[in-house]
């Protein structure tokens, strides 16, 4: 169970960074931490101790395999994460060009 709680802790650290940090880049890093924690948790779900890689060479061989589905899903999730991180950084660059700062407390024109 310990690795699962470690994942949860990593996620909470990321969330903490997203909520409390003022620098946009640090917020993005915090978000990446959350995402990595979830991906790691997903990969851990498929893990079994002392199991073989899920490559079946002999159909009669029904040994203990690692579940390959979470690995495939995590690959997809990582690609989606790449897209979101890239877009976030692109937005951060445009915000810097406009506001001349990465401080989120100064990027605050919308109210009400």
Partner 1 sequence: MDSTFIPFFVVLPMLAAFLIPLLAKLWQGTSDLIANAVGAALFGLSAYGAVYLYTDSPALVYRMGGWVPTLGITLVYDHLTALVTLAINTVGLAALLFSVRYLDHYTGRWKFYSLFMLVLAGLNGVAITGDMFNLFVFIEISAVASYALVAFGTDFDELEAGFKYMVIGEIGGTAVLLAIALLYAKASTLNMAVVSQVLAGFGHTPLFWFILATFLVGFAVKMALVPFHAWLPDAHPSAPAPVSALLSGVFIKVLGVYAMSRVVFNVFGLSRANAPSFFNLLIGFGVLSIVAGGLLAYAQKDYKRLLAYSSVSQIGYILIGLGIGNYWGVVGALFHLLAHALGKGLLFLASGSVEQGAGTRELDKLSGLETKMPATVWSHLLGALSLAGVPPFAGFFSKLFLIIGAISARMYWLAILAAVFSTVTLAYLVKVANQAFFARRDREPTQAKEAPATMIAAMLFLLVLAVLVGIGFKPALDKLVGPAANVLLNGLGYAKGVLGG
Binding site for partner 1 (CB under 8 A): 11, 15, 18, 24, 27, 31, 34-35, 38, 41-42, 45, 67, 69-70, 73, 76-77, 80, 83-84, 87-88, 91-92, 94-95, 98-99, 107-110, 112
CB closer to partner 1 out of 58 and 76: 76
E strands within the chain? Answer: none
Compute the least distance from the CB of residue 57 to partner 1, in Å: 20
CB closer to partner 1 out of 22 and 94: 94
E strand or H helix at 31? helix 24-45
Distance CA 89, CA 98 (A): 14
CB closer to partner 1 out of 4 and 52: 4
Question: Smallest Cα–Cα separation from 41: which of 68, 74, 12?
Answer: 74
Distance CA 77, CA 94 (A): 26
């Amino acid at each position: 169970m310990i690795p699962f709680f470690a994942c949860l802790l990593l996620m909470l650290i990321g969330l903490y960074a997203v909520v409390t940090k003022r620098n946009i880049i640090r917020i993005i890093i915090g978000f990446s931490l959350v995402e990595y924690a979830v991906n790691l948790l997903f990969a851990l779900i498929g893990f079994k101790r002392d199991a073989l890689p899920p490559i079946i060479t002999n159909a009669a061989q029904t040994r203990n395999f690692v579940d390959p589905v979470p690995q495939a899903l995590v690959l997809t999730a990582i690609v989606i994460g790449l897209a979101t991180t890239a877009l976030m950084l692109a937005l951060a660059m445009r915000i810097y060009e406009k506001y001349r700062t990465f401080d989120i407390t100064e990027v605050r024109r919308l109210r009400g």
